Amino acid sequence: MLSLLDGFMLDDAEDIARQVAENFRRRRVEKNISRVQISEHSGVPLSTVARFEQKGLIAFESLVKLAIALGYTAEVKNLFGAPKFDTMEELDLIRRKQADKRAYRKASKNESK
Protein backbone atom coordinates (compact mmCIF):
# COMPACT_ATOMS: atom_id res chain seq x y z
CA MET A 1 0.00 0.00 0.00
CA LEU A 2 2.79 2.44 0.85
CA SER A 3 4.44 1.80 -2.50
CA LEU A 4 1.25 3.04 -4.19
CA LEU A 5 1.34 6.24 -2.16
CA ASP A 6 5.06 6.82 -2.69
CA GLY A 7 4.52 8.85 -5.86
CA PHE A 8 2.02 11.08 -4.09
CA MET A 9 4.15 12.03 -1.09
CA LEU A 10 5.57 15.53 -1.01
CA ASP A 11 9.36 15.61 -1.16
CA ASP A 12 11.39 18.07 0.81
CA ALA A 13 14.66 19.63 -0.35
CA GLU A 14 16.82 17.12 1.53
CA ASP A 15 15.00 14.14 0.01
CA ILE A 16 15.39 15.56 -3.49
CA ALA A 17 19.09 16.36 -2.93
CA ARG A 18 19.74 12.81 -1.69
CA GLN A 19 17.91 11.33 -4.68
CA VAL A 20 19.88 13.47 -7.14
CA ALA A 21 23.11 12.43 -5.39
CA GLU A 22 22.12 8.76 -5.55
CA ASN A 23 21.23 9.08 -9.25
CA PHE A 24 24.59 10.74 -9.89
CA ARG A 25 26.47 7.98 -8.05
CA ARG A 26 24.63 5.29 -10.05
CA ARG A 27 25.43 6.95 -13.38
CA ARG A 28 29.08 7.41 -12.37
CA VAL A 29 29.39 3.75 -11.33
CA GLU A 30 27.60 2.55 -14.50
CA LYS A 31 30.24 4.36 -16.56
CA ASN A 32 32.99 2.81 -14.41
CA ILE A 33 34.30 6.21 -13.35
CA SER A 34 35.89 6.56 -9.93
CA ARG A 35 35.37 9.55 -7.67
CA VAL A 36 38.97 10.55 -8.31
CA GLN A 37 38.46 10.41 -12.08
CA ILE A 38 35.22 12.43 -12.02
CA SER A 39 36.92 14.95 -9.74
CA GLU A 40 39.84 15.36 -12.11
CA HIS A 41 37.64 15.47 -15.21
CA SER A 42 35.16 17.99 -13.79
CA GLY A 43 37.50 20.15 -11.73
CA VAL A 44 35.34 19.57 -8.66
CA PRO A 45 37.39 18.73 -5.54
CA LEU A 46 37.29 15.09 -4.48
CA SER A 47 35.99 16.07 -1.04
CA THR A 48 33.05 17.86 -2.70
CA VAL A 49 32.22 14.78 -4.80
CA ALA A 50 32.32 12.59 -1.68
CA ARG A 51 30.16 14.99 0.35
CA PHE A 52 27.65 15.18 -2.52
CA GLU A 53 27.35 11.42 -2.87
CA GLN A 54 27.11 10.87 0.89
CA LYS A 55 24.91 13.77 1.98
CA GLY A 56 23.50 15.37 -1.17
CA LEU A 57 25.27 18.66 -0.39
CA ILE A 58 26.84 20.54 -3.29
CA ALA A 59 27.02 24.03 -4.78
CA PHE A 60 25.03 24.41 -7.98
CA GLU A 61 28.12 25.31 -10.04
CA SER A 62 29.85 22.12 -8.89
CA LEU A 63 26.74 20.10 -9.72
CA VAL A 64 26.73 21.58 -13.21
CA LYS A 65 30.42 20.67 -13.67
CA LEU A 66 29.73 17.09 -12.58
CA ALA A 67 26.73 16.87 -14.90
CA ILE A 68 28.84 18.08 -17.82
CA ALA A 69 31.57 15.54 -16.98
CA LEU A 70 28.99 12.71 -17.06
CA GLY A 71 27.34 13.95 -20.26
CA TYR A 72 24.16 15.39 -18.71
CA THR A 73 24.54 18.96 -20.00
CA ALA A 74 21.15 19.07 -21.76
CA GLU A 75 19.32 17.76 -18.70
CA VAL A 76 20.73 20.54 -16.52
CA LYS A 77 20.14 23.22 -19.16
CA ASN A 78 16.51 22.15 -19.42
CA LEU A 79 15.86 22.01 -15.68
CA PHE A 80 13.34 24.87 -15.83
CA GLY A 81 12.97 24.79 -19.61
CA ALA A 82 9.31 23.84 -19.95
CA PRO A 83 6.53 25.80 -18.27
CA LYS A 84 4.48 23.87 -15.71
CA PHE A 85 0.99 24.67 -14.54
CA ASP A 86 -1.52 23.27 -12.07
CA THR A 87 -4.68 25.02 -13.24
CA MET A 88 -6.05 26.42 -16.47
CA GLU A 89 -5.83 29.91 -14.92
CA GLU A 90 -2.13 29.39 -14.31
CA LEU A 91 -1.68 28.18 -17.91
CA ASP A 92 -3.44 31.32 -19.17
CA LEU A 93 -1.17 33.49 -17.01
CA ILE A 94 1.93 31.67 -18.29
CA ARG A 95 0.84 32.25 -21.89
CA ARG A 96 0.20 35.96 -21.25
CA LYS A 97 3.54 36.45 -19.46
CA GLN A 98 5.80 34.52 -21.89
CA ALA A 99 7.39 37.66 -23.35
CA ASP A 100 7.79 39.42 -20.00
CA LYS A 101 11.27 39.82 -18.55
CA ARG A 102 10.16 40.25 -14.90
CA ALA A 103 7.61 38.67 -12.62
CA TYR A 104 6.06 41.98 -11.57
CA ARG A 105 5.05 45.08 -13.42
CA LYS A 106 7.07 48.25 -13.04
CA ALA A 107 5.41 50.87 -10.86
CA SER A 108 4.39 54.04 -12.66
CA LYS A 109 5.56 57.46 -11.40
CA ASN A 110 2.14 58.11 -9.86
CA GLU A 111 2.22 54.83 -7.92
CA SER A 112 5.68 55.39 -6.45
CA LYS A 113 4.69 58.66 -4.72
pLDDT tens sequence for the chain (113 residues): 445 555 556 689 999 999 999 999 999 999 999 999 999 999 999 999 999 999 999 999 999 999 999 999 999 999 988 877 778 888 788 778 777 767 666 665 665 55
Split into its structural domains, the chain has a count of: 1
Confirm whether 109 is domain-assigned: no
Instruction: Please spell the DSSP secondary structure of 22-90, one letter per residue.
Output: HHHHHHHHHTT--HHHHHHHHT--HHHHHHHHHH----HHHHHHHHHHHT-HHHHHTTT-S---SSHHH
Confirm whether 41 is domain-assigned: yes
Confirm whether 59 is domain-assigned: yes
> CATH number for the domain including 21?
1.10.260.40
Range of the domain at 87: 11-97
Confirm whether 23 is domain-assigned: yes
Q: Is the pTM of this model over 0.85?
A: no
